[in-house]
Structure formats: C-alpha cells, structure tokens
Amino acid sequence: MSDDAITVDPAQAALFTLEGKTAVVTGASSGIGRRQAIALSRAGATIIAVGRNADALDAVMKELHNGGVAVQADLATADLSGVLAEAIAMTGPVDILCNTAGVNLREPAADISRESWDLTINLNLTVPFFLARELVPGMQKRGGGKIINIASLQSERAFANSMAYGASKGGVAQLTRAMAEAWSGDGICCNAIGPGFFPTALTAAVFDNEETAQRNAAQTAIGRNGKLSDLDGVTVFLASAAADYITGQVLYVDGGFTAK
C-alpha cells in the first residue's frame, strides 16, 4: 500500500463548502436546529440563529466556528416581515434557510383545542412558508439559494396523540414540493429532511420511556435511534452546491424506519 497522503480534488471539495454563505436557522437554541447551526458553521457559513431562549442562543453562538448573529424571537407571534432585518444588515443577504422551529403538543384528538391546533399549524407549516417568502426575493436577485424544511415520519404515517402535528408535517412535505415548483426555476432548491427518532426536547416523552425508545430502534433497518450528529452531513449537503440538482424532495434520515 502506498504511503502517499490521500489528496482531495479541490473542485470536489468545493461542492460542499459554504464559505461566503449566510444561513438562517430557526429553532437554533436546541435540538435539531442547534445541530444544524453548528454543522453549517463548520462548513463555513455565517449563521443567523433564531430561537426563543436567549441564554440557549448565547450558548449556541459560542459553539459556532464561523460567527453569526443571534435573534431572540417567538416565530409563532413575531412579525416575520421584519424579524430578521437587523441581523441581515449585519451579516449580508441570506443564501440558506433552515425552517427547523416546531412544536408537538402530543394531545389525544379529543383534547385538541382550537388554540393548540392553530399554534401547531402556524409554527410548523405557516411560518416556514411566510419566512421563506420574505427571503426568496433576495435569493432570486443573487441567482439562487437553498431552503431546507423539517418534515417528519408523520409526513407519511400516523402516530398516536399527534393529529395536529401529523397534519402540519404532512403539509410540510407538500409545501416543500410546492416551493420547489414555484421557486426552483430561479435556482432556489427547496427540500426537506424527515428525521426519524432523535433525542430532542420534542421527543423527550419518547426517549424517557426506555421500552418505547427500544421498540422504535428495533423498527429501523440499522437497529438504533438517531444521534444528532447523523444530521450533520445531510444538512450541509442540501445547503451546498452538491445538491444543486435536487429539489422538491423529502429525504428521510431515519435509519431505515420508513423502509420496513
């Protein structure tokens, strides 16, 4: 075997770099959003991290490799037309949007109120559309961009006590396709990540029950539940030039859960 060092084709490496790009990540103060912010930063992007918890956002900012701006906001009630204006003035135009903020109240159908239904649909489905629409004109002017939504296993199948959440995530899958149809002609690739079971605040009820967690792991083809680091590669990939001919897709990162 040769002792020569392995060399990387610069052109190939350039497909995955995000140097010079600015990425907005919602829900960045915890869970999947936090992990996406860190992964995109490691790939070279400047991050606009949006979340409700100021202390958690400050902690995330300390983990970013390439700097950025924290925006404390509750997107369920914020004025989406102006919530990012100050941050964008500091970082420059946005190239990447990760619509990751979400809520799952895990209510039985009989307990769902109009208020809880509206909150779930608003934060999980309505906000991603209107926030994207605010940023799309800037992406169009620069000849393209990337939008990454967060779908769910419930975009494809039903789970107990999640009717509102499932409806919203089914909507996210279709919203992603509709975004692609509307905007990909302008070079804006719109895709969604469909996570399996990952340990986050939204899935605490699942992972707190060892029997349930193990049953979910057994339903995957790989035989384990996800680690947040499993989302690093797919996030960077969909945000990068390597995915320039991929749009309107939901990519399940679920260890093969949906394959069985």
Q: Is 245 a catalytic residue?
A: no
Are the beta carbons of 99 and 132 closer than 8 angstroms? yes
Buried b or exposed e, range 53-78, using 16+ CB within 10 angstroms: eeebbeebbeebebebbbbbbebbeb
Cα–Cα distance for residue pair 102/27, rounded to 1 Å? 7
Q: How many residues in the chain?
A: 260
Identify the three-state secondary structure at position 158: coil
Amino acid (1-letter code) at residue 124: N
Q: What letter does residue 203 receive in the DSSP assignment?
A: G
Closest CA to 23 of 145, 184, 124: 145
Neighbours of 141 (CB within 10 A): 10
Are the beta carbons of 152 and 176 closer than 8 angstroms? no
Of the residues 134, 165, 183, 230, only one is catalytic, namely 165
Active site residue ranges: 165
